[in-house]
Chain A
Amino acid sequence: MTPAIEVRDLRRIFNVRQGLFAPPRQVRAVDGVSFAVPPGSVLGVVGESGCGKSTLARMILGLLPPTSGEVLVDGQRLSNMDRKARARLIQPVFQDPFSSLNPRRRVQDIVAMPLVAQGDIDRATVARRVGEALERVGLSAEQGGRFPSQLSGGQRQRVAIARALVLRPRIVICDEPTSALDVSVQAQILNLLDELRRDLGLTYLFISHNLAVVEHVASEVAVMYLGRIVERQESEALFHNPRHPYTQALLASVLTPEPGLGVPDVGLGDIMPDPANVPPGCRFHPRCPKVFAPCATQAPRPTAFAAGLVECHLEG
């Protein structure tokens, strides 16, 4: 079966100048990432801020050209597609429904925008499909006539989802879709996304820093660290048997609502990852509690095993 999303050795380097006369430094935001997502499934991408997860999302959406490597969507090269074709296939839902919606347009016009941008759809069809999309996400026609400022955060995120769905895409890239929302609203949106995926056969790339949310929605999880996927496993396996020390530390730092357990000691030390200054050898070694001889000098190779892949000297 053709994967819905396939990424081959994708890289993106940013040249960052730190001062007027300082030589530019290279930030390797995404540094050789490969994976395939089968249709109808959900790949969760987790990692700390600065690990490159949003850069990855922007490249898959075609919003940012890769420095090297390839993105294939539904078996076709993204770089060969024009904007309209891309928009029909793949759509985003971003984190902040306060800044991702134009405040001066009515909800129905915001949702209609992708259809209008296609250029060849008549007004009656646009109106009908906007109505369908709003209904799909649980918004009324009356709410379609309002401005984003008149809606709550959860309702705005529903608008963003309706806009993503109005072209009937196959793939939706969700970049922290519930991070700005309250827990009760987050649950509503997660339930909605799951329902839509089942009914419409959608494929999601689901980016989040909230591991409990990712465990809930993802069928497979990729853990990113400084631009690379250091572990990828089927969701249940990853949460029960994390192989990479970084994954283990991430999971240990999740604070589940269970009183009496106290705050865990993550054991990562105080060094923060800096994408402009990637350590030699294994990029995680300065923070790794299990660091040993080869880690400082040799980069580990990805080791495949039954349920996934891990990049660590302790494996393989």
Chain B
Amino acid sequence: MSALLEVQDLRVTFGGTAAVRGASMAVAKGETHCLVGESGCGKSVTSLAIMGLLARGGKREASALRFAGQEIGGFNEREMSRLRGDRMAMIFQEPMTSLNPAYTVGSQMTEVLRRHRGATRAQAVDRAAELLGRVGITAPGLRLGQFPHQLSGGLRQRVMIAMALMCDPELLIADEPTTALDVTVQAQILRLLAGLQRDLGLGILLITHDLGVVARIADRVSVMYAGEVVESAPTAELFGNPRHPYTRGLLACVPVPGKVKRGDRLGSIPGVVPRIPPGFAGCAFRDRCNHAHAACTGPIPRKQAGPGHEVLCTLDLAA
């Protein structure tokens, strides 16, 4: 099956800082691919680079950036904006900052359809109301006339999702869509996303730092560290058989009810995510790694650790 989104060797630099250093990933139709990592690892920049939304000063290079079989790496802004919001849509973490506070929910939602599809106002309003119902909002007519500040956080995020779905996108990129929400609402929103995906066959690239979210919703996981994908595997494989020391460290940091007793020390990773200077060679994790040895300063091999399981490490960490 050909991938819906295919990214090969993506590199993003901001001036002298390399934010993404050769990341590759693919999202198939109907698949949820989670990109997980700590702040500063380049996961958000990766998603913005794919959408062509890098801030000024950001430079993107990739040996391939294909969407539905078409190379979009060379697209200009006009061609990209035709694609964005239409065939590929994005939801951000904080719906309060990504919704325009000066316009009603209805006018923001209908704009997408009118602009991309040339729909009439009435058609667009019907579609918006239908989608608000779809994402579990009761009284859609009322909500369409309201402003973002009149909605709760959970409702706003539902509005964002409904807005992203206006043009029936094939790919949805969601950057920390539930991080700002209460756990109860988070569960509801994630269930909603999973249901929509099942019904509409969406491909989802979900960016998160929360391993709990990853475990429950992802089909495939890529772990990013300092701008590189250090490990990528199907979800059960990644959690059951993590190979990279960073992945193992991350998993040990999360308190799991019933597994780590109160008073036991949690695993932690010493140090902080380093800033990577241009021309850096070797493994970026080596200064924090218990297993670091001489070879870690040289080129790091990308190894096959199982079916669909890749790891970027000099070690041969057995299961």
Residues of A within 8 A of B (CB): 48-49, 152-155, 182-188, 190-191, 194, 209-213, 215-219, 235-236, 239, 249-250, 252-266, 268, 270, 272
Contact = CB atoms under 8 A, between A and B. Distances in A.
Given A266-B187, A268-B184, A268-B188, A257 B154 contact: no
Contacts of A152: 272
B71 interface: no
11 contacts: A183-B38, A184-B249, A184-B268, A187-B268, A190-B255, A210-B183, A212-B256, A254-B257, A255-B183, A255-B215, A256-B215
Contacts of B262: 215-219, 235-236
A216 B260 contact: yes
Contacts of A265: 187, 191
Contact of B267 (A153, A187, A219, A257): A187
A257 B183 contact: no
A80 B152 CA distance: 39
Contact of B265 (A182, A191, A218): A191
Contacts of A209: 182-183
B80 interface: no
A253 B184 contact: yes
Interface of B: 38-39, 136-138, 152-155, 182-188, 190-191, 194, 209-218, 235-236, 238-240, 249-258, 260, 262-263, 265-270, 272
Contacts of A255: 183, 186-187, 190, 210, 212-213, 215-216
A211 B187 contact: no
A250 B188 CA distance: 12
A259 B183 contact: no
Contacts of B249: 184
A70 to B, nearest CB: 30
A218 B262 CA distance: 8
B184 A215 contact: no
A216 B255 contact: yes
B263 A257 contact: no
Nearest to B219: A259
Contacts of B187: 252-253, 255, 263-266
B256 A183 contact: no
Contacts of A249: 184
B253 A184 contact: yes
Given A152-B272, A212-B256, A263-B190, A183 B209 contact: yes
A217 B183 CA distance: 19
Nearest to B151: A272
A253 B260 contact: no
B70 to A, nearest CB: 33
A169 to B, nearest CB: 22
A155 B270 CA distance: 12
Nearest to A197: B263
Contacts of A186: 253
Nearest to B37: A182
Given A184-B249, A258-B239, A212 B254 contact: yes
A272 B257 CA distance: 27
Contacts of A191: 265-266, 268
